[in-house]
Structure 1
Amino acid sequence: MIDMASNDADGVTRVLVTGASGYLGAHVVKQLQEAGHRVRGTVRSTKNEQKIKPLKELCPNAAYELELVEADLQKEDGWESAVADCSHVMHVASPFPASNPANEDEVIRPAVDGTMVVLKAAVAAKVKRVVLTSSLVAITSFSKSRSVSEEDWNTGTKESAYNKSKTMAEKAAWDYINGLPDDSKIELAVINPSLIIGPYLTNTKGTSASMVSQMLNREMSLLPAINFPCVDVRNVAAAHVRAMTYDTVVGKRHIMATKNMSMQDVSIVLAAEFKPQGYNPPTKAAPNFFMRIVALFNSEVKGLLGSLGVVITADNTRMKDVLKIDPIPVEESLIEMGYSVIEKGWVKKTSNYKGRPQEAAEAAGEASSQE
């Protein structure tokens, strides 16, 4: 049931979501609409039907139709009108490259400058609160095993362009907000997700789906000993929605992490679900010495060497106790992500593919009713 009065009851008039067509952005839009909020989303082009149509269909029974406007993080034009009449801003958009670019500024500058463009527009419009999507990589490097909390910052000197971009963008945000004069102050809350997994809502393929796609396509035969905390995209979206109004989040960071998984753990989960359907994900770990040999000829593998065997333990106390998030099991998230990449056509369907269990059951029921 949609609370039609929610916009007035919690002081929310309209919410701007940047990067609305992205993997996380679409989930944030959907949950905001389901909660009865007026939502405006930014996209690079309102003429791209492939990206726009799924957004318009996210919440068919929404109390308010989704409004989409064009805005680019690398341009100042359009942001003043995008933020106009909004009480809250969810700054979700950020570049996420498939590989480390030759020039790291290709990733860092849009992330930092884009964050500042959005924040300055929010301050000028006198919005109440901005919820910023940062990352666990702004809290820690993956160079050695450690336990981390929101008090930590990534101080690594040999980080990827993406890791640097998230760290620098978040630091720039805090510096800017904390340095505002009292008569211009707005509230800031930050969400720091670990590796985001789970189902896709739009046709925009994010980098986070590449690992699952490669496993199901068996584009690798051995798996590097890489570990990473994971979290479901729906939990991360819920964190953004709750951070919009909870008083306890202002001026704070919030780690989103449910469980540590190795690449071998991930592939074993996928194999259990999809091997009976004709897929053959690799489940054997590659010895570290083998990875070092491959790294001599592969720059992407070379970039992984420093993370081999590293385990990061992230404190998710604020996720559970402050944001009141009940974590979705990562195994469930991975399986749903597997079905998503197949249904989106990023992984070819096999002759034994049965589809999602619920959809398969519904299809069987329809077939039997027609006999």
Structure 2
Amino acid sequence: MNDNLILVTGGTGFIAQHCILALLGAGYRVRTTVRSPARETEVRGNLRTSGAEPGDRLSFVAADLTADRGWAEAVAGCAYVLHGASPTPSGDQVREDDWIKPAVDGNLRVLRAARDAGVGRVVLTSAFGAVGIGHQPSHRRPFDESDWSDLTSNVAPYQKSKTLSERAAWDFIAREGRELELSAINPVAVLGPALGADYSHSIRLIKTLMDGQPGCSKINSGFVDVRDVADLHLRAMTHPAARGERFLAISGESMWLVDVAKVLRRRMGAAAGRVSTRVLPNWVVRLAARSDPMMKGILPTLGVNMNATSEKAMRLLGWTPRSPEDAIVATAESLVRLGLLRSSKQAA
């Protein structure tokens, strides 16, 4: 059993909880941060969904990315840090800076605490939003780790915050990181087994299809299973070749939303009775975007191929993710198992 202590920030998060499961499965002791100690029960309950009962091999520290308090305690004695916590939107974000400043400051706060505590390496959970957004349609595909989102273009505040906060992390390491090492993981849309009702934005995409969304916008995305994202974090944590590198996490080729719907129809039987494989014309999406913020958010990517490659992670770290189809099905199965879908009595 590996007795090293690992800090996973943001223990209520979807990726973070799967990282905790992977670390416990590999024999590590885990400490995780939560903004409120009251959420420990929720986190342990979600882990129990996957059969994990870590007892005292999992501990909790209250810490918030917007304040220094708690971070020295959180990192004390830790060999590595998996930093996936990100500021939670409150609905009060009026200016871009309301998104960007907490994300940038939060990364620097964790890195500074890790450096001062003698942590060996931080693995930062960044995002494809820091890689493939804002580029011209003529930009080469597939995207790889040399790409950064073009912030001079039409980039949403969340994606801008991910880009600037990752850049700030690399700048910190270069300028004042001293012995601290950094790796970054940049996942595309993360699917896989939900552990409870508090799940990722990407899983909401599958839930919306299963609940009878009236059609599929012409959007394209890469997909990856959260268990493989967790596995990549562990590989990047200890592998010598991961030092100072960023790794895109995508399984296979990107997919159009209608093809995701077709996978659900083919693999999920009656549970996918509401899933529509009708493609919505762009003008319908643009009309809906006038009153629907979610629709407005996808306008810049309508019809844009977002393909990327994980060749680097596979070559350097030996990473072998599940197929995107299996990730889609695992997501849908978990939504059914947890009773998180609307009644599917009426087939589409």
In 1, Cα distance between equivalents of 2:254 and 2:191: 12
Name the amino acid aligned to 1:240: H
**Deviating more after overlay: 267-276 vs 72-81:** 267-276
Runs of 4+ in 1 over 6 A off after TM superposition: none
- CA 1:267–1:97: 2 relative to 1, 3 Å: farther
What is the CA deviation profile of residues 200-257 of structure 1, one whole-angstrom value per residue up to 9, with x for unaligned ones? 2344222222111111111x31211000111111111001011111000101111111
Q: Determine helix, strand or coil for the equivalent of 2:254.
A: strand
Q: Is 1:114 equivalent to 2:114 in the alignment?
A: no
Q: CA deviation at 1:50?
A: 2.8
Q: Residue in 2 aligned with 1:222?
A: 215
* 8 Å Cα contact 1:143/1:307 also seen in 2: no
Shift of 1:62: 5.3
Q: Which amino acid aligns with 2:21?
A: K
Alignment RMSD: 2.4
Match of 1:254 in 2: 247
Deviation at 1:290, TM superposition (A): 2.4
Counterpart Cα distance in 2 of 1:100 and 1:233 = 29
Distance 1:80 1:138 in 2: 28
What is the CA-CA distance between 1:327 and the residue it aligns to?
Answer: 1.7
Q: Aligned partners of 1:335, 1:39: CA distance in 2, in Å?
A: 29
Q: Gaps spanning 5+ residues in structure 2: where?
A: none
The aligned counterpart of 1:288 is 282
Amino acid at match of 1:273: R
> Are the counterparts in 2 of residues 91 and 131 from structure 1 also a CA contact under 8 Å?
yes
- Deviation sequence 1:251-301 (CA, Å, 0-9, x none): 111111113111111111112233423631111111122223333443432
| 1:248-327 pair list within 5 angstroms | 248-258=241-251, 259-277=253-271, 279-327=273-321
Match of 2:144 among 149, 166, 173: 149
Q: Which amino acid aligns with 1:79?
A: W
Q: Following TM superposition, by how much is the alpha carbon of 1:313 offset from its aligned partner in structure 2, in angstroms?
A: 2.5
Structure 1 residue 21 corresponds to structure 2 residue 12: yes
Specify which of 47, 57, 67 is matched with residue 59 of structure 2.
67
Query: Could you tell me how far 1:194 is from its partner in structure 2?
Result: 0.9
Secondary structure of 1:205 counterpart = coil
Change (3 A) 1:348 1:213: same
Q: Structure 1 residues 140, 60: CA separation in 2 closer, same or farther (over 3 Å shift)?
A: closer
Residue matched to 2:232: 239
Q: In structure 2, do the counterparts of structure 1 residues 71 and 63 end up closer, same or farther at CA, with 3 Å as the change threshold?
A: closer
SS in 2 for 1:89: strand
Q: How many residues align?
A: 341
**SS in structure 2 at match of 1:39:** strand
| 1:14 Cα offset (Å) | 1.0
In the TM superposition, 1:1-371 aligns within 5 A as: 4=1, 6-7=2-3, 13-48=4-39, 49-55=41-47, 60=52, 65-95=57-87, 101-141=93-133, 143-145=135-137, 146-147=140-141, 148-157=143-152, 158-180=154-176, 184-218=178-212, 220-258=213-251, 259-277=253-271, 279-350=273-344
Higher Cα Rg: structure 1 or 2?
1
* Aligned AA (1:186): L
Alpha carbons 1:100, 1:162 under 8 Å: kept: no
Distance in 2 (CA, whole Å) between partners of 1:96 and 1:18 is 13
Partner of 1:357: none
Q: Relative to 1, partners in 2 of residues 1:278 and 1:264: Cα closer, same or farther, differing over 3 Å?
A: closer
TM-superposition CA deviations, 1:58-82 (whole Å, max 9, x none): 5647596211111111111000000
Amino acid at match of 2:209: M
Distance 1:103 1:342 in 2: 38
Unmatched segments (≥5 aa) in structure 1:
8-12, 354-371
Deviations 1:43-100 (A, max 9, x none): 1222233334333675647596211111111111000000001111000112465999
After TM superposition, the structure 1 stretch with the greater mean CA deviation from structure 2, 311-320 or 220-229, is: 311-320
